[in-house]
Structure 1
Amino acid sequence: MSDNGSRGRRAARPQGRTTERTSRPVSPVEASATATASLRETGPQRFQQRGVPEARRSLPQALAAGFALALLVIGVPVALLILGGPPPIPTSLPGRDDLTATIGPEQLVGVLLWIVWLAWLQFTICVLTELRSAVRGVGLPSRVPLSGPTQRFARALVASVLVATAAVGQAAAAAPAAAPEAPPTTTISAEAYDGQADVTVQQEAPPAAAPAASEEVEYRLGDMVLDPEEGAELVGQKVYIVQPPDGRYHDNLWDIAERTLGDGRRYQEIFELNRGREQPDGHELSLARLIYPNWLLIVPADAAGVDVVTAETPVAETPPAPPATPPLTPDQPGGQEGIGEAGAGLFADFVATGEAEAVNTNPHAGLIDAGLLAAGLLASLELIRRRRRTPEPGDDEVEAEVALRIGADPDRARWLDYALRHLAASCQEAGRPLPPVYTAVVESASVELLLAPARVDAPEPWTVLDEGRRWIVARSDIAVDPELRGRVLAPYPGLVSLGRSGDRDVLVDLEAAGGPICIDGDPEATFEVVTALAVELATNQWSDHLRVTADGLPETLGVFDPGRLRLVDGVEPLLPELAARRADRLGADVLTGRVRPGGAGHWMPEYLVLGTPPTGELAEQLVALTDAAGRSPLGVICAGDVPGARWRIHVDAAGTLELPALGLSVRANQLSWRSIEALVGLVDPDRSNDPDPAGPNFNEAWLPEIRPEVPQVRTLVTEAELATAPVRVYILGPVVVQARTEIEAERRALATEIVVHLALNREGVHPTVLAAAVWPRGVTAAVRESTFARVREWLGFDRAGSPYLLTTEDGRLKLSENVVLDWDVVCALLSQARQVRRPSEEADLLRRALRVARGPVLSERPQGRYAWIARARVERSASDLLVDAAHRLSVITRDGGDPATAAAAARAGLRVRPAEQLLWRDLILAQHAVDGRGGVMAVEGEMSETLTGIGGIELAPETAALLEELVPSNGGRHRDLA
């Protein structure tokens, strides 16, 4: 647990549990009362100190304190009224005679009466404040202004009375007459229907101890257990526990923001997240300067060193009864026999654990939690960047890319694709049809398929479970075949992920619906889910030749893959075409067609995705078009209710998605308008935030007056200094950090990322900001500090004993000037090349810079790391500068009669941006000077293969014209090479 919670409160967990997961001091009286040993208090009383009352606090002392309270609160006003009457109250404003009159005994008595009455009122208010605090269990009572000594005296009297009362109660509880009772025995039976677990509790003990179903969830903040009400409110949030005073220091919002967010000025964000929310002591945050110890403060999602509130479901000691779900009939929604049988039992866990998922307040949080969806979007983004130069992103676009890289799981997407194609190849070799899959559950180490109807003839290495309703395969059981993807077409192109349950991605095969699919619920969430489905279908790896036609969705979505996703204004004109396709498939089996030699490509599906519900005649036409007794390669997904829909998906405002026909409940994949706009802004030139829109674009001539600007470096460093530096950081190519000492292999990736982040921010980074970058999903303060200490030890110390990882006076982490970054060396060389006048000197500097650059920025990086690199804005800058340097060197050396160096310069630039046809033209000219026509033909073939592999990029007019000039084709074949 983080330090902020080590002194925090511990709330109760539900009754009826047999083990204590957290500990607290237990008094001898409580230890003897075994009837209550398994129970803990709930609510605010968790702040009160438990224990046996001290012996010296006797009943006479409590009676004396109670008598003193009664005397002061009741006796004093009674005595004042009897002896002096009510205090004199003026009936008019004082005149001149009153102000100049002699002060006599009557006036003095009147003033003294007012002083006593006011003192009594102040004391009474203090007593009431202390009583309220003690009864409600408040950890720190409210302060009464100008009443310090008086309030302390009132607190002492109230405490004496209440402690003695508690002692009497505990003594009665410990009396021998109160024989301990055996703890109640609970038996649980579960029946699942459509995925919903129905829990029946039978008690052999008094029913008062029976736990409610809702109490079975235990909410935790680190190792602290929260009460169910508060836990349900805070689950998924990062929560900071306000610390008690330490001497004269009191915790405050500014310091909390400084420690967790790296910037004290962000205290206002914490204030806004908690304003008006009731705290454990019953108070609410109304003034930013007024917080109390043990308050639970929600902090922004990028806070570091703060725990997340999670929900845990206790595991039953006895195995649950097998699901007893009757099979669905064709008359029921869903339509296919057996769908939901396996899912009911399996997804009951998903329903139970759904509340435990983290809720992120980041504006692009939907991308952070969408592993497979984010993987497809990231692949499309990188493909576009390989094809052409993309615009300079704005701040929101950068944050969207960071969220995308945090959430993307390309390794799992590749694993799912490979597992499905391997299954299709195995079925084809065995002459069997593909299994009728309707749901897939994907983890990093396994893929599980749910079937309806059941099949038991699974090929090796698949394992049959639940009488053929489930097939599962482990990743370690499948041998890697690099040529499998090119040899086997996708068997289940209609699989799309609905969301996640825990760390598992849950997908459904839309073909299995056999009819329209409608999504309803919260309007905004519904639209975001429909958009996410359309985008994933158009960008995932496991679908071949699939086409998605979208109506009513953002038209900018077409920028990702216009070949698979077309956007239309109305679907009515497309219905005849789709009806003809349906007639061709009528009576045939989709899955059999896909494994039939030569016929697989004809059975790829097409989906209509509608952002608004169809009405009237259009709705009837769509139902008739997609209605099928079995699987269909044509389908309709729409937002809103559609009469006759086979699957009805419901999503609420919190993002919980339910598909009752399959017994499924997950955290939904969502794609918001803001995220769409930001992602499109990363690749669409029309939405560029580039301050220099006239800068060089793809395939344009790079004129000297518009060459990219070289970033300024703090100090000019050379290749020699890079080679001899005690710590060397390489980011141009595969990322490498070289130090004089070694670090454990399993810690190297994280330590390297920390050093790279600091190397790109030489002015220093606050530890909490650095932690938020390298641990985007959160980390405890203890882990953070131990990791930074380990990195400091790895980098080592100079001869004077100073570490290469420094801590500045304001608490920032920064690297020593003796740590050298290869990017700084390249910038220094390129800056000098811009200043020299002789071409030979410029060529030498450019050659040295390109020799240092081994490739694009972070060309090889561990999955899930360096999501923050977009904020550094170094990838695009480095790419532009290195392409410019390569082009410039190629031109200078070619004009100087050195075509071999010109060709080497062009190839160095192509390592950074392989689709840059400016460099391909440089290479063509250089090879023509070396080998003539043969050299040009060789480069032409190499270029065609490269551009085709990247994504079928067409030749630029300049490139085609150059090829036609050097190697005339008499037919213009160069225009169609790629």
Structure 2
Amino acid sequence: MHSRRPIAAALTSALVLAALIAGPPVILLGFLDPPHIPTRAELASPGDPVLVVNALLATAWLCWLMFTWSVLAEVVQRLRNAPERAAIRTPFQRLAAHLITTIAISAVAPAPQAFAATSTVAAAPADAPTSAKEDATAKAEAGQQHKTYRVKPHDTLWEIAKRHLGDPMRYREIVKLNEGRVMTDGTTFTSEGWIRPGWLIRMPTDATELEPKHPQKPTAPEADDEPVHVVRQGDSLWNIAERHLRNGKRYGEIFKLNKGRPQPDGRRLTDPGQIETGWHLRLPGRVPSSPPEPPPTAEPVKVLKSVPDAETQGSATPRVTQTPAGLPAPAVPGVSIALPGGGMVGLSFAAGIAIALAAARVRQRVRRRVPEATEAVQVVPVPKPEPAVQAAEEAYRKANEPVADDYDLVKDSFTTEPPATLDVGVRAGENVTMDLPGLNLCLTGPGAEDVARALFVALIAQAEAQRVELVAPRDDAIKLFGDDLETLALHLPGLTLTPTFDDAVTHLASERINRAELLQDAEANDVTELRENRPDELIPALVMVGQLTERDPSYLESFLEDAPRFGIGAVLLGDRLPGARCEVGADFRASAEGDLDGVDLFRLPQQEAITFLRRIAIQHGHKDPATEATGEAAEVPEVEAPEVEVPEVQSALNTARFRLLLLGEVRLEIDGEPIDIPTAKGLEMLVLLAVHPAGQTKEEICAILWPDVEQPQAGYRFHAALSDLRKRLWAASGSNRKLTSFIGAENGTYRIDREHVWIDLWEFHAALADARKATDSETKASALDRAAEVCRGHLADGAPYLWIDLDHRDPLTLASVRALLQLGGIHEKAGRPKRSLEVMEQALALDPINEAAAVAVIRLLTGLGRRDEARLRAQHLTAHLASLDLEPTPETQATLRQLHSHLRG
């Protein structure tokens, strides 16, 4: 649109225009001589100042002429309503067009209406009347016909009217049709504001060449039709292809279909790695038939907190199936997660929990100590988290395969930017979000408390690094979560418990005043702009959670009206804020006036909610007796801990023709030469049987390798994969069934041939067993040296097997690091610093953030006189600890002081 102050903008533009047209001639003629044609003598001396001044004067006059020509051309264009600009374009054309357009629009702009530039999103429809007069106006507008247009970047009402109505002066009709309507981002359309990309504005019925609001898709597409996917936050072409085409590698087909197509925001897809939320991507019409899915009746559209446009409301997508009253809606695969205790959460919630678990494991890895020579090192299973936590983490892993290492996951997830939206539920198979700044919900009904718990925990999971602050009255919080919350509160980031409800409201009011002062000092319009202008100011999203029943809401309601500007919101239980009221049924389906109506809301029963809060608190230092077994205390003495399955049988000799290497990248060798196993399932079957030396039944193997395929199809796949694997191994080795089957079967149990196949994993287990039996440190060191020799890396490093991570890879990595630390300590005490250094380096290769190994390497390098290397390692260790917000242990500090004294000496 035009300027927020039309008269001021017109006067300013007129003054600038007059100054640029009249000013240069006055200055050039009044104070300087006019330029003249240079003489032959002046041309003979190009460095002569007279010639230089003459050239500058000629340039200045030329620029003035070009600008004056541009102004005249724009004036003629406006008077003639010319559809195109002048044929002769100058470098000053855009400046002239801006000035003339501002003057022209402002001069004829309608009188400003009594609408605020921005407003809090109400729960009622965008055009809902609030008085009898407004009701009559709304009915009159409802009878009028109009079209819609989605605003693109750099659009102005003048250009839109010229392009689609044939007359730029008809922009006033567009203003009249849209004045006072709430747009999709929650901003009210006014004659004094700017239009923004993505808005849906009404247009007169004779508007031409308008793009449809949403791509049209038949309700029953034929096989060759192209369905459409609306991009959600976090989507990539790979996971879209996996979700809809059952194969992430087909992302190239989606890119090819959509390359260069205009999107709703005016941009185009040019890079497969760059897609934006809200884009509409065509999908290949032919998708795999297994497993079949019923086609949707209409295109699902992501729902935001803002009040929908009237046209959007009229085309709301009906559900394919209806959940019977009183029964919770089932989770939607890929969008929501059903928890064992009856809760349902979104993938963003699962991401927060997965990061919390990874952070706790990383802190344990950092602080893992060097075992004494007398301790027994063995493979100990990693304790599994509670069922709800495990379900959330597994869902996250499946949605983000392959998952990054714990340290990388924690490090890459760190940010101080507050979340912009909050996932609240699911509708029509799509995630539903609400804007977090100005979040205003008043929940009532039988399912209200479970929904409030889910929103509370979701915000706590994102509150690290001062991103979110939750304020709750103590009694209300304990009523929601139970007495356990008292012990967890000190270790829950961003949580402030106040003595009373009034104290919580006072806290919000005080913070509002503080933020208002910050906005005034920074000359910013809202908190978002303030964060951009002052990134060093950490201003969290502030949300109050409490019980509103029987409490006076007037004071709270008074400053929630402009809460979005200050980044403040509230989630309350009760029905005393009519504009924010949301009825939550026993089936957790929302009934509200606005976007939440019909949404299946996320929810958490009290027990599951406190379980998640406990996990988040442990991440931030809470010591919980039920989970202490996962920490360092469980490591001494390990001999009392249950072991992971360890082979009691010996594999073939190290000189055997067939060697399967699993510690590091998976590799199969015959006579020392690597061979390729083209079938992925065949290789995975080989790895599975190697980590289960006692063997597996066909049913057990099928449950792991083909979990989504039922019998007898899974059995067919098993026999086909096994037969193909054997044939390929026979062909590669020149062997046959009589010499070895490679994988034998006995009483329905399949296991690897122990006489002909040597496996490094089995050798590692055997070496650890010998070390545990050793009666002196030298014998133990000899056995551990054998283990170190085969320990090339993580179990099946790089193999994307979800089943191997927690059950096998993590316990083995823990045992390997402990064995190497113990071996390094034995060699150091025995006076073999070079060998000790090699072993400690090997331990760091497996676990680069282990503080004890890093300190040992620094100490050994210093003792060997390699002080520059020691200083570099010290810098790396300090950086690792700082990235995790950890302080060095006293032993580390002593080693660093010793290094510094050596460097100074």
TM-score, normalised to structure 1, is 0.48
Deviation, structure 1 residue 549: 4.3
Match of 1:568 in 2: 497
Q: Secondary structure at the match of 1:910?
A: helix
Tell me whether 1:889 sits opposite 2:823 in the alignment.
yes
1:397 pairs, out of 386, 407, 410, with: 386
Matching of residue 606 in structure 1 with residue 542 in structure 2: yes
Are residues 1:832 and 2:754 paired? no
Which residue identity is paired with 1:518? C
Equivalent position to 2:432, from 496, 500, 506: 506
Change (3 A) 1:363 1:393: farther
Contact map agreement 1:792 1:804 (CA 8 A) in 2: no
Matched letter for residue 763 of structure 2:
V
1:899 deviates by 2.0
Q: Distance in 1 between matches of 2:632 and 2:688?
A: 31
Deviation at 1:633, TM superposition (A): 0.9
- Find 1:924's aligned residue among 858, 868, 890: 858
Question: What residue number does 1:375 align with?
Answer: 351
Instruction: Determine the structure 1 residue equivalent to 2:747.
Output: 809
Distance 1:917 1:484 in 2: 20
- CA contact 1:903–1:926 (8 Å) conserved in 2: yes
How big is each residue's C-alpha offset from its partner over 1:367-425, in whole Å with a ceiling of 9 and x where there is no partner? 8973222122112101210111699766673684255213546649999xxxxxxxxxx
- Aligned partner (choices 333, 341, 348) of residue 317 of structure 2: 348
Quick one: which amino acid aligns to residue 534 of structure 1? F
1:799 aligns with 2:799: no
The CA distance in 1 between the partners of 2:506 and 2:403, in whole Å, is 36
Corresponding residue for residue 532 of structure 2: 596
Deviations 1:610-638 (A, max 9, x none): 4xx23344755543453327444111224
Partner of 1:425: none
Percentage of identical aligned residues:
17
Report the CA distance shift for 1:484/1:695 in structure 2 as closer, same or farther (over 3 A): closer
1:782 aligns with 2:693: no
1:495, distance to aligned residue in structure 2 (A): 1.4
CA shift, 1:890, in A, is: 1.6
| Cα contact 1:734–1:858 (8 A) shared by 2 | yes
Deviations 1:886-929 (A, max 9, x none): 22122122223332332232232234444433323322321221
Q: Aligned letter for 1:952?
A: D
In the aligned structure 2, how far is the partner of 1:561 from the partner of 1:736? 49
Measured in 2, the distance between the counterparts of 1:877 and 1:314 equals: 44
1:113-165 Cα distance to aligned partner (Å, 9 max, x none): xxxxxxxxxxxxxxxxxxxxxxxxxxxxxxxxxxxxxxxxxxxxxxxxxxxxx
**Distance (whole Å) between structure 1 residues aligned to residue 570 and residue 427 of structure 2:** 25
Equivalences for residues 563-962 of structure 1 within 5 A: 564-566=493-495, 568=497, 570=499, 572-586=502-516, 589-590=525-526, 592-593=528-529, 596-599=532-535, 601-610=537-546, 613-617=547-551, 619-628=553-562, 630-638=564-572, 640-644=573-577, 646-654=579-587, 656=589, 660-662=593-595, 665-675=598-608, 680=614, 686-688=624-626, 695=633, 712-717=646-651, 720=654, 726=658, 728=660, 730=662, 732-733=663-664, 742=676, 744=678, 748=680, 752-774=683-705, 779=710, 781-782=712-713, 785-786=716-717, 789-794=720-725, 796=729, 799-800=736-737, 803-810=741-748, 812-817=749-754, 821-836=759-774, 839-857=777-795, 860=798, 862=800, 865-867=801-803, 869-870=805-806, 872=807, 874-875=808-809, 877-931=811-865, 934=868, 936-949=870-883, 951-962=884-895
* Structure 1 residue 963 displacement after superposition: 3.3
RMSD: 5.4
Whole-Å separation in 2 of the counterparts to 1:880 and 1:560: 31
SS at match of 1:662: coil
Q: Is the 8 A contact 1:376 1:539 kept in 2?
A: yes
Aligned partners of 2:490, 2:398: CA distance in 1, in Å? 19
| Distance in 1 separating the partners of 2:318 and 2:643 | 56
Partner of 2:459: 537
Matches of 1:649 and 1:618, distance apart in 2 = 18
- Once residues 712 and 832 of structure 2 are traced to their aligned partners in structure 1, the CA distance between those partners, rounded to angstroms, is 58
AA aligned opposite 1:517 = L
CA distance in 1 between counterparts of 2:426 and 2:843 reads 41
Separation in structure 2 between the aligned mates of residue 716 and residue 913 of structure 1, nearest angstrom: 28
Aligned counterparts of 2:799 and 2:554: Cα–Cα separation in 1: 51
Per-residue deviation, residues 623-669 of structure 1 (Å, max 9, x unmatched): 3453327444111224x324116544455444555665115645544
Residue aligning to 1:495: 421
**Amino acid aligned to 1:536:** A
In the TM superposition, residue 828 of structure 1 has moved relative to its aligned partner by 1.2
Kept in 2: contact 1:558–1:567 (CA 8 A): no
**Secondary structure at 1:373's aligned position in 2?**
helix
Distance of aligned partners of 1:310 and 1:653 in 2 relative to their CA distance in 1, 3 Å threshold = farther
Q: Partner residue of 1:406?
A: 395
Partner-residue secondary structure (3-state), 1:596: helix
| CA distance in structure 2 between the aligned counterparts of 1:901 and 1:569, rounded to whole angstroms | 58
Q: Is the 8 A contact 2:332 2:429 kept in 1?
A: no
SS in structure 2 at match of 1:931: coil
Aligned pairs, how many? 567
Partner of 1:519: helix, strand, or coil? strand
C-alpha separation in 2, matches of 1:776 and 1:714:
29
Take 2:539 and 2:817, find their aligned partners in 1: how far apart are those partners?
Answer: 44
Amino acid at match of 2:347: G
Q: Distance in 2 between matches of 1:946 and 1:339?
A: 47
- Distance in 2 between residues matched to 1:752 and 1:915, nearest whole Å: 31
CA-CA distance at 1:849 after TM superposition: 1.9
Alpha-carbon distance in 2 for matches of 1:517, 1:839:
66
1:208 alignment partner in structure 2: none
Which stretch shows the higher mean deviation, 703-712 or 913-922?
A: 703-712
2:882 is paired with a residue whose SS is: helix
Q: Is the 8 A contact 2:543 2:570 kept in 1?
A: yes
Unpaired segments ≥5 residues, structure 1: 1-192, 196-215, 218-306, 329-333, 416-482, 971-978
Partners in 2 of 1:696 and 1:356 — Cα distance?
Answer: 39
Measured at CA, do residues 575 and 404 of structure 1 come closer, stay the same or move farther in structure 2, by a change above 3 Å? same
Contact 1:826 1:853 in 2 (8 A): yes
Distance in 2 (alpha carbons) for counterparts of 1:891 and 1:719: 30
Partner of 2:340: 364
8 Å contact from structure 2 (residues 548, 576) kept in 1: no
Tell me the distance in 2 between the aligned counterparts of 1:857 and 1:541.
35
- Looking at structure 2, the residues matched to 558 and 855 of structure 1 have their Cα atoms a distance apart, in angstroms, of 41
- Letter aligned with residue 526 of structure 2: V
Q: Does 1:519 align with 2:443?
A: yes
Closer/same/farther in 2, CA of residues 413 and 790 from structure 1, 3 Å limit: closer
Secondary structure of the corresponding residue to residue 888 of structure 2: coil
**CA contact 2:526–2:566 (8 Å) conserved in 1:** yes
CA distance in 1, matches of 2:344, 2:805: 16
Contact 1:733 1:854 in 2 (8 A): yes
Residue 188 of structure 2 is matched in structure 1 by none
Once the two structures are TM-superposed, the CA of residue 969 in structure 1 deviates from its matched residue by: 12
Whole-angstrom distance in 2 between the partners of 1:413 and 1:967: 41
Change (3 A) 1:585 1:715: same
